[in-house]
Structure 1
Amino acid sequence: MEDELWELIEPLLPPWPRKAPGPRPVDDRRCLQGILHVLYNDVSWQLLPLELGFGSGQTCWRRLGRRHEAGVFETLHGILLAELHAADALDWTRACVDASHIRAKKGARRPARHRSTAGRRAVNTI
């Protein structure tokens, strides 16, 4: 990972609790490189080699969860988009909108009409 990118990411990371139980935590930068390695190479967390120095797959997976809960990746995404926009490096003509992320506005803002079944007799199926 390049130093320039790390300088953007490091201030966003939540501080590690000083009284956390267990061994000394893996370096944040190395752990993030492990997370990126797993995601980029599409390998399972269990298959992350310890020889690469990223920490165990379990450690990287837990750290990914903590950072996700802290909103690190969402904030980083916003920062990177702002930088690309400022540099005029975004090509919006190639943008695509996924309808699963957009709320559909259907009709009026009144509750749906419910049909009452109280006045009908039940059908005898015996």
Structure 2
Amino acid sequence: MARLEPYFPKSHGKPRVDDRRVLSGIIFINRNGLRWRDAPKEYGPHKTLYNRWNRWSDKGIFAQMMVGLAAEHSEKNTVMIDATYLKAHRTASSLGQKGGRGRLIGRTKGGMNTKLHAICDSRGRPLNLFVTAGQASDYIGARALCDSLPDVDWLLGDRGYDADWFREALKDKGIHACIPGRKQRKATVKYDKRRYKRRNRIEIMFGRLKDWRRVATRYDRCPKVFLSAIALAATVIYWL
């Protein structure tokens, strides 16, 4: 709690309900994928949990927690980039959303999905996250996360990130790309196969995030709230 308190918004007027109890209840609900009304009584009224979750998610508090704590990573050697599919429940994908940029849910061969793009350090700890619709290309996530890459020597990625513009962008940043070439390329792309084997750590990171049921299955219609659930899981698992 001492590490998280600097990211809490200031309380105005009436003192806020105990932050430790409410945050513990929010974590319990997200980890087990329960309805808010099913929260144990020890965490207090479920409406309090839901209101705090909804209000702080809208302000981006949980995403700020993860980004702020991840800024202490001190990674100087290698980062990894990859993406994974997160299945959208019918409660999140039903009906359309008026205005905004949509719910970021797309149809793929596996059904309705949201795509999570992530950058992690050499230990498999997430540094930055980005969500798109399920049918979006890996290049969209790479373009969005490229500016937030830390000052490192290597970036590991699979064939989905084999694009000339991305390699040039990494070169301009002084980062060596360890990305195998697509089969359609006429010229073979050389890469460090021994170093590339370490990329399994980002796959392990995705697997641990999906242990949280509210991350593995998207129940939230609002993409900002869903990203908050992912950021909260990443914070609890890796940065506390």
Smaller-chain TM-score range?
A: 0.5 to 0.7
Which aligned segments of 4 or more residues in structure 1 are displaced greater than 3 angstroms? 88-91
| Greater helix content | 1
Q: In structure 1, give the amino acid aligned to 2:132.
A: S
Q: 1:26 to 1:73 in 2, by over 3 A?
A: same
Higher RCO (Cα < 8 Å, 6 or more apart) = 2
Q: CA deviation at 1:17?
A: 2.5
| Greater strand content | 2
Secondary structure of the residue aligned to 1:46 is: helix
Secondary structure of the residue aligned to 1:78 is: helix
RMSD between aligned alpha carbons? 2.9
Q: In structure 2, give the amino acid aligned to 1:14.
A: P
Bigger Rg, structure 1 or 2: 1
Q: CA deviation at 1:25?
A: 4.4
Calculate the TM-score normalised by the size of structure 2: 0.33
The answer as to whether partners of 1:26 and 1:55 remain within 8 angstroms in 2 is: no
2:82 counterpart (92, 96, 118): 96
2:35 matched residue in structure 1: 44
Q: Indicate whether 1:10 and 2:1 are aligned.
A: no
| 1:86-122 CA distance string (max 9 Å, x none) | 1x499634x3144827378xxxxxxxxxxxxxxxxxx
- Count of paired positions: 90
Q: Indicate whether 1:34 and 2:25 are aligned.
A: yes
Calculate the TM-score normalised by the size of structure 1: 0.58
Q: 1:59 to 1:92 in 2, by over 3 A?
A: same
Instruction: Structure 2: give runs of 5+ residues left out of the alignment.
Output: 84-116, 118-130, 134-139, 144-240
Q: 1:91 to 1:58 in 2, by over 3 A?
A: farther
Q: Give, in whole Å, the separation in 2 of the partners of 1:89 and 1:47.
A: 44
Instruction: Structure 1: give runs of 5+ residues left out of the alignment.
Output: 1-5, 105-126
